[in-house]
Amino acid sequence: MIRPQDLLCPKPEGLYCAPGDFYIDPVRPVDRAVITHGHADHARAGHYNVVATPQTLDIMGERYGRDFAHTPQAAPYGETVSRNGVEVTLVPAGHVLGSAQAVVRWKGLTMVVSGDYKRRRDPTCPPFEPVPCDVFISEATFGLPVFRHPDDKAEIARLLRSVAQFPERSHIIGAYALGKAQRIIRLLREAGWDRTIYVHGALERLNALYRKHGVDLGPLAPATTAKKAEFAGQIIIAPPSALQDRWSRRFPEPVAAFASGWMQIRARARQRGVELPLVISDHADWDELTATVDELRPGELWITHGREEALARWATLHDIPARALALVGYEDDDG
């Protein structure tokens, strides 16, 4: 009888598959890595062989340069890669462009590593695909019952109401450069905002990459091209760190908005000086996490990172054996 820990087990470098001799999202350079998505804490430079979706490889190349790995190996969604009898299939996780769950099969045992995921519609990537499995290895960034993300369309509507209400001010939205920024732009376009959206320089390359992959972002311009008064009534998108930076002084009375699941907590918004918190996240909220576990009813639930204890307790209360892996190195960022 093979046990799940014979197939995957936590190591300091990350989740390790002994029979296939590879790591999933390792935090240090290794010989063979499977990468679920392009966020920096999951996709690091310096591995020898990297298996990832073509989009994720593209993102890594954009961030780390073309030589980020010795042998990048593209695995499109649904195609299986085998090594030493271990089969790995990447299926959509709905997190950001190219994001995938790693489905690992070996001798009749199926384990799914969720990577970071969400269950809601995202106009920039295909939706999460539930895969029946013996062990589901889940993230838990928002693994507390307080995190219940509202409808993203309603959040965008709040933003647009504020823009209409304060036409003399500019609205700066803090959004992570990979995924969140492009999703916000798409949501704005779907809500009918067809004016030029101004973007911080740090977002330009990833915006171009999303466009190359067929995501229509509409008219964008660098947030440096207009005069101060011309930014009145405009929407600007910047990395969150720029909100309180001297960079923001070029705009007229900016309303600081921040698009993140953390904005659900008022103290967090207040600490960061955010005037208009937009609760829009690329991670599963509490209801999505628990509904996904309930839908899959895996034999076991393993939890990689985030607020593991609450999700583990919930699973135990629902008769699903759960264990927290306490993997280190993944950030709390709602990227």
Does residue 140 bind other proteins (CB under 8 A)? no
Alpha-carbon distances of 134 from 84, 122, 131, 137, 270, rounded to whole Å: 20, 28, 10, 10, 43
Residue 62 structure tokens = 């954009």
In this complex, which beta carbon is closest to other proteins, that of residue 74 or of residue 265? 265
Does residue 144 bind other proteins (CB under 8 A)? yes
Does residue 310 bind other proteins (CB under 8 A)? yes
In this complex, which beta carbon is closest to other proteins, that of residue 132 or of residue 150? 150
Residue 22 structure tokens = 């590879």
Q: Of 55, 248, 260, 304, which one interacts with other proteins (CB under 8 A)? A: 248
Cα–Cα distance for residue pair 246/252, rounded to 1 Å:
13
Cα–Cα distance for residue pair 303/324, rounded to 1 Å:
5
Does residue 172 bind other proteins (CB under 8 A)? no
Residue 100 structure tokens = 């995938």
Q: Of 68, 117, 128, 147, which one interacts with other proteins (CB under 8 A)? A: 147
Say which residues have a Cβ less than 8 Å from residue 333's Cβ, sequence separation at least 6: 39, 41, 176
Cα–Cα distance for residue pair 25/256, rounded to 1 Å:
33
Say which residues have a Cβ less than 8 Å from residue 67's Cβ, sequence separation at least 6: none
Does residue 80 bind other proteins (CB under 8 A)? no
Q: To the nearest whole angstrom, how small is the minimum distance from the Cβ of residue 281 to other proteins?
A: 14
Q: To the nearest whole angstrom, how small is the minimum distance from the Cβ of residue 146 to other proteins?
A: 4
Question: Interface with other proteins by CB under 8 A: which range of 39-47, 142-150, 194-202, 212-220?
Answer: 142-150
Cα–Cα distance for residue pair 122/152, rounded to 1 Å:
10
Q: Of 137, 276, 296, 315, which one interacts with other proteins (CB under 8 A)? A: 276
Q: To the nearest whole angstrom, how small is the minimum distance from the Cβ of residue 273 to other proteins?
A: 4
How many residues of this chain interact with other proteins, rule: CB under 8 A?
37
Does residue 241 bind other proteins (CB under 8 A)? no
SS3 for 65-99 is CCCCCCEEEECCCCCEEEECCEEEEEEECCCCCCC
Does residue 228 bind other proteins (CB under 8 A)? no
Binding site for other proteins (CB under 8 A): 144-148, 150, 158, 162, 165-166, 243-249, 253, 256, 264-267, 269-271, 273-277, 307, 309-310, 313-314, 317
